[in-house]
Amino acid sequence: MGEQKVLVTGGAGYIGSHACKALKQAGFTPVTFDNLVTGWRDAVKFGPFERGDLINKSDVDRVFEEHAPVAVMHFAALSQVGESMQEPGLYWRNNVMGSLNLIQAAVEYGCIDFVFSSTCATYGDQDGVVLDEDSSQHPINAYGASKRAVENILADFRTAYRMNHVIFRYFNVAGADPEAEVGEFHQPETHLIPLILDAVDGKRDALTIFGTDYDTPDGTCIRDYVHVCDLVDVHVLGLKWLQVGRGSRVFNLGTGDGFSVREVIDQAGHVTNRPVPIVEGARRPGDCTKLVSGSSRAVSELGWSAGRSNMKQMITDAWRWHQNGAYTK
């Protein structure tokens, strides 16, 4: 078998760049397609780079014609919940129309194995339950709604064109490549662990804890975290599932446990051996008390093991990357 190229949309972003490394290690050639609005050219290290925008069909057609990928791994999306509530049109246009262009092109060029990065935000506000793949979907913001819409498009294309898909739904992704070749770098930063590390490092005055009166043991909300390397490993497993003809499937990705904000802060203090300056603030609208996602299906059917997804390891790897430097365009 010759070279197998996989088109990785959003491959210059946090999760996409780690996916490209995992694909390379698995014997594929990742082709990064990214508009660099939130991604970084420096993060493209493991295969060809094609700059383009999914909204522009000519950009999408060009990359299929030039590289003839055997599969698509689709990460590219706007993903800020707050922004999606303020500018829903931006999310519907970018996430849904862009994805539709990509899916249609994949069918036109005979590329019918499709791995989609979705989100547990499609389930909406189901507080305090362990979500599984059969939980009802009631997204409460345009981000979650746009991702659910793409899931629906994929289901329709499976019926019409026998295009097979694996959909992964997950919440909080953390950590970084243990070798610090790629890592998490957003501008502005919105994710908890890098915000904590910025506060530890003096890059921001303090970390704000949004809400200390939740019905949890320490009063702060609880979220499920998965190490980015565990996450991209299972995306490769999902691709291989499709390649052997196993058919379309949805998988949740999480540990089913969850960590409170204060637990994450405490662990960061231990890992860095530095104090974490904090400020206590009011709750943010739309924040649930506890969101955790079970992954028994991914474990039993894909053979997934989330071996790095403990908080100490995630922060240790993130801290190594944090001290290593940052990207430029």
Residues with active-site annotation: 143
For residue 6, list its beta bridge partners.
Answer: 30, 71
Residue 53: helix, strand or coil by DSSP? coil
Q: CA quadruple 326, 227, 147, 163: dihedral positive or negative?
A: positive
Q: Which residue has the tokens 């931006």?
A: 90
Distances (CA, A) of 243 to 22, 64, 220, 301: 17, 18, 43, 15
Amino acid of residue 122: T
In this structure, are residues 329 and 40 in contact, taking their beta carbons and an 8 Å threshold?
Answer: yes
- Output b/e per residue, 42-59; b: 16+ Cβ within 10 A: ebbebbebbebbbeeeeb
Short-list 68, 72, 77, CA closest to 98: 77
- Residue 325 CB burial class (10 angstroms; 0-12, 13-18, ≥19): exposed
How do 207-210 and 278-281 pair as beta strands? parallel
Residue 304: helix, strand or coil by DSSP? coil
